[in-house]
Amino acid sequence: MVYGVVGHKTHAKMVLVVRREEGRLARYVHLGTGNYHPRTARLYTDFDLLTADENVCMDVNEVFQQLTGLGKSSKLRRVWQAPFTLHGKVLEAIEGETRHAKAGRPARITAKMNALLEPQVIEALYRASQAGVKVDLLVRGVCALRPGVPKLSENIRVRSIVGRFLEHTRIFHFANGGEERVFLSSADWMDRNFFRRIELCFPVADAKLARRVVREGLKPYLDDNTQAWEMRPDGTYERRKRGRGKKRSAQAELLAALAGS
C-alpha cells in the first residue's frame, strides 16, 4: 500500500502491468474516469482506456515512481497531470479554440464532467464564447458558469443529465482547427482537482476509439430530451421537454451501445 504525496489526495485511476513477453518486458496501462470499486461500477457511468502505447506507459510509470519515491515530478509526454500541468493544459486547449475561431478555422468545445467551478477556466470559456466558439458543457452537478448571457456567454450551453445512473465520465473534446482531440480524465474542472489532488487526463489517440467516445459519451447527452435539464442565464435549470420528435434517453442509448459492442 502506497499513500502517495503528503497533502494531496490521489484521485487518478491507473493500473500498470509489466509482463515478460518473448524475452522482453512489455507494459500495459489501464486508465479510467471512475473508481475501481465493484459497487459504484454498477451505479456510475465511466469510461476506461487499455493501451500499450509506449509514451502513455512511460508517463504512467513516471507517475507511479513519483508517488512511491521522493524524486521531483518529471515532464510527461502524453498525459496531463494535476497538480502540475493539468490546469495549464486545459487553459491552453480552450485558448487554442479561441485562436482557431478568430482565424476562421473549426472551433468547438464539448466537455462532460461532474462540476465546473475553477475561475480561470470559466473566464477562458467566456472568452472563447465571445470569439465565436460553440461550447457545450455537460455538467452533472454544481456549475458556476452562466450560459446564454448576452455579450458574455451567448455561445455556451450547459446541461445536466439526471437518470438511473450517476453520470461520472469526464470527457473533453476540442475541434482544434479540424484536427480533433479527445481526452478522458479523472478530474473535474474544480480548484481541488487542479491544485490539491493527483489527477490524470489522457488522450484517446486512436481515431476510431475517439469517434466512439464522442458518439456514445457526448452526442446522446446533447440530444437527450427526457432526462436533461438546461441551465438558464440566471443559474436556474429548466427540464428539457420532449416535442413531437423521437424520445431520446442518453443513458438508454449508452446501454444499448454497450450491449451491442
Q: What is the pLDDT of residues 110-148, one digit of tens each?
A: 999 999 999 999 999 999 999 999 999 999 999 999 999
What's the confidence (pLDDT) of residue 171? 98
pTM of this structure? 0.94
Annotation marks residue 11 as catalytic:
yes
**In one letter, which amino acid is 221?**
Y
Average pLDDT score over the chain: 94
Tens digits of residue pLDDT in 165-213: 999 999 999 999 999 999 999 999 999 999 999 999 999 999 999 999 9
| Residues 158 and 139: beta-carbon distance below 8 Å | yes
* Residue matched to cell numbers 485562436: 99
Give the CA distances from residue 5 to residues 57, 69, 77, 87, 252, in Å, rounded to whole numbers and listed in that order: 21, 9, 21, 18, 40
What's the confidence (pLDDT) of residue 211? 97
User: Does 1 score more than 70 pLDDT?
Assistant: no
| C-alpha to C-alpha distance for 60 and 31, rounded to whole angstroms | 9
> In percent, how much of the chain has pLDDT > 70?
98
Of 11, 100, 168, 173, the active-site residue reads 11
Tell me yes or no: is domain 82-260 CATH 3.30.870.10: yes
Q: 104 pLDDT band (50/70/90 cuts)?
A: very high
What's the confidence (pLDDT) of residue 227? 92
User: Does 68 score more than 80 pLDDT?
Assistant: yes
Span 80-109, average pLDDT: 98
Span 145-163, average pLDDT: 97
What's the confidence (pLDDT) of residue 257? 82
| C-alpha to C-alpha distance for 111 and 157, rounded to whole angstroms | 11
What's the confidence (pLDDT) of residue 175? 98
Q: Which stretch of 112-116, 212-216, 246-250 has the lowest confidence by average pLDDT? A: 246-250
Span 32-51, average pLDDT: 93
DSSP at 144: -
What's the confidence (pLDDT) of residue 247? 85
* CB-neighbour burial class of residue 48 (10 A; exposed 0-12, middle 13-18, buried 19+): middle
User: Does 48 score more than 80 pLDDT?
Assistant: yes
